[in-house]
Amino acid sequence: MADVTPLILLTRPLADAEGFATMLANMGIAAEVEISPIVEIVPTEVHVDLTDITGVIFSSRNAVAAVDGYDLPAWCVGEATAAAAGAKGWRAAAADGDADSLYARVLADAPQGPLLHIRGEVARGDLAGRLTKVGIQTREVVVYRQTAHPLSERAKTALMRENPVIVPFFSPRAARQFAEQGPFHAPLHVVVMSEAVQAALGELPVETVVLAGKKEAKAMANAVARLLDAG
């Protein structure tokens, strides 16, 4: 990495980006941070009917935020989502950060349905269909939409300079949307949550790709710190 302190560009939805920026600051990372969400979370305001539901599935913290808490089992995609659900009164259990591990966790616990998958408009893994197919009746409800946004003018300016930029990507969709707005002049150093996220970058030129050790925000932050230390 160039002998210049890089900019850290956060493209997550605003609340998630602000939370990640706070995590970086609490770790003592003093690099400049620019927040430019390329996805906006828009609640659908749909009524969530829990009649006869024996438990729920959350594949994001945004889904947790969109509904009231209840004293029911809640299978959550990862630790952060489980913490958010537990704080609202759900009996939360965490999977390992992706749709496949979430499916496996529900399957291992073998609950009696029906379950309700509370999710965003764009979701991976067809959890409701897969669980229903193996005998755990699962319905689904979309409680928010993910609306794409272009990068801000400040972010575009930073990406066209010669100074390096570190960009953490938490989902294939975000990586794909970012790549579609390139190419960029700045040397890019990216942190990805999974190989699927890396693949979504396509042919976007990057200097460095770092795969987080786990599919969670803390691991992503640690990977950003390693990139900075390596500079």
CATH number at residue 85: 3.40.50.10090
Could you report the per-residue pLDDT of 54-108, keeping only the tens digit for each?
999 999 999 999 999 999 999 999 998 999 999 999 999 999 988 899 999 999 9
Over residues 208-227, mean pLDDT: 93
Could you report the per-residue pLDDT of 139-161, keeping only the tens digit for each?
999 999 999 999 999 999 999 99
Of 146, 163, 197, which residue is a domain's last? Answer: 146
- Per cent of the chain over pLDDT 90 is 86
Could you tell me if residue 2 is inside a domain? no
Alpha carbon distances (Å) from 90 to 49, 68, 84: 16, 9, 9
C-alpha dihedral, 55 to 57 to 60 to 66, nearest 10°: -50
Judge if 140 and 174 occupy the same domain.
Answer: no
46 pLDDT more than 90: yes
Judge if 117 and 105 occupy the same domain.
Answer: yes
Confidence of residue 186 (pLDDT cuts 50, 70, 90): very high
Question: What does the alpha-carbon distance between residue 174 and residue 163 come to, in Å, rounded to a whole number?
Answer: 22
For residue 231, the model assigns a pLDDT of 64
Confidence of residue 229 (pLDDT cuts 50, 70, 90): confident
Question: What does the alpha-carbon distance between residue 219 and residue 166 come to, in Å, rounded to a whole number?
Answer: 15
Could you tell me if residue 1 is inside a domain? no
- Start-to-end CA distance of the chain, whole Å, equals 5
Judge if 32 and 73 occupy the same domain.
Answer: no
Could you tell me if residue 122 is inside a domain? yes
Question: What does the alpha-carbon distance between residue 53 and residue 39 come to, in Å, rounded to a whole number?
Answer: 31
4 pLDDT more than 80: no
Question: What does the alpha-carbon distance between residue 144 and residue 42 come to, in Å, rounded to a whole number?
Answer: 5
Q: Packing angle between helix 217-230 and helix 14-26, nearest 10 degrees?
A: 60
142 near 46, Cβ under 8 Å?
Answer: yes
Judge if 60 and 111 occupy the same domain.
Answer: yes
C-alpha dihedral, 152 to 156 to 158 to 163, nearest 10°: 150
The per-residue pLDDT of the chain, averaged, comes to 93
Question: What is the SS3 assignment for 71?
Answer: coil
Question: What is the SS3 assignment for 22?
Answer: helix
For residue 106, the model assigns a pLDDT of 97
Pairing of strands 138-148, 39-43: antiparallel
Q: What is the pTM of this model?
A: 0.84
Judge if 101 and 116 occupy the same domain.
Answer: yes
Over residues 19-44, mean pLDDT: 95
Complete DSSP assignment for 176-221: HHHHHT---SSPEEEEESSHHHHHHTTT---SEEEE-SSSSHHHHH
**Residue 112: which residues within 8 A CB-CB, separation 6 or more?**
54
For residue 3, the model assigns a pLDDT of 57
Confidence of residue 125 (pLDDT cuts 50, 70, 90): confident
Judge if 34 and 68 occupy the same domain.
Answer: no
For residue 213, the model assigns a pLDDT of 86
Could you report the per-residue pLDDT of 64-74, keeping only the tens digit for each?
999 999 999 99
Domain that includes residue 170, residue range: 7-38+149-230
Judge if 128 and 160 occupy the same domain.
Answer: no
Number of structural domains found in the chain: 2
